[in-house]
Structure 1
């Protein structure tokens, strides 16, 4: 284990281990915590990895505690890594003033606007620094898939779209599919990137598909009782249109009665884990 990693906690779960680690991030310029679930198979050899990117206000803990993923991950022999959702404790002005910007709301992009550009490079963190760190320190076989929820669904999609072929599969729960055209995205992108909306398109799932297509399929579950769906924050209809026009295979399942909560995620997480396992060859 690298001296750069400090173990915060370790809890046995379904024969494997949920561990939380603290490290100093060179990319973000602050201390960060991430969580990793190592299935029992990791005690005897290397295993594939699922990245989970969480949504607004979340930390590394929400998915690991609420999603009910450990049982199936243990059966499948799949590790799961959950990063935090933003830099923490950077003392930037306004960092903690709202739930949808700043702390807990990094949007998995690289900020270019001051003062956020000093720390808010979550895209580089989750696609470069943290993968290098976990690959060097844990028994992983180099095979990766990626998934996430809401802001994290947006993050999972842009990571996959901007790195074709890197991830064996990609899925999302209620993703913010078209942030350049929703209130959450407009607030975050103007704050982190400035007012040039053409630059925003580089961080938008719908716009990336329109511009470049995608050779892999996308799996999305969306609850039809989701208040953020009704408020126009998620825009799955724009994702459907973009995928149809670009010939991208999209499986969009509208789940009746489900909202935006972790009860929704816990209900369907097994489907997603088994979907990724098939693509990872386990």
Structure 2
């Protein structure tokens, strides 16, 4: 009867798989609950950091399991591999975020105008938590922004402010931003967008069979005397404030857009800030850069320096 040695079971490999499942489930639940609005960002960050600490132990146990498999043939190769994969699913994204934390400046408020940033129409509501937070609108913070993001500057367009304003609002609507407040917008867009009454009139006209309805016949009205009417000048500036969240992680951001008409050109400035922590990991600069690129495409041919 041939002798078949009994392979030992690696306890480290078994614990690696079990703790890996716990860490991965903890991180995913924290992100999902935060994205659904049921968990505040500081609490979600704390849960993810706890999952990262557990993932480090999981990775160490997986290495021990592989070592036992190589030297004494202990069972647990599959369990060690599963634990290692689950640990890396947590540690790799956190490692990428840590690299941005180290390489990018510790600021959370970005503006295209570092000398005179646009002022908030409604001050964002900041809730203090265990994550430290400093004032982002300081000369030192603006100097860090200038060194890290020299390409984040305003845009000048060869066009009237009302046309640029319509493009800005269209892009904000496409991005599903929520408008919080505005100044000087109503007077500029009044009469530029089609009203619902004209659309209903067109629909009724298209639905008719071509026969005139005497009851709806237009009545003649005296022509108004517009020669003596004094028309006020249109506003030469407009400010819009929005609120949004990042697509994947749902991090809240506040956005401010300022439009200034100068002779025959319109200058656009932006400001973006996060509400939690003192480091935005570069997401505010990415938001401004993407929005201005979309605005350049929307107003193709009239963008200037």
By relative contact order (CA 8 Å, sep 6+), the higher-ranking structure is 2
- TM class, shorter-chain normalised? under 0.3
What TM-score, normalized to structure 2? 0.24
What TM-score, normalized to structure 1? 0.25
- Larger gyration radius, structure 1 or structure 2: 2
More helix by share: 2
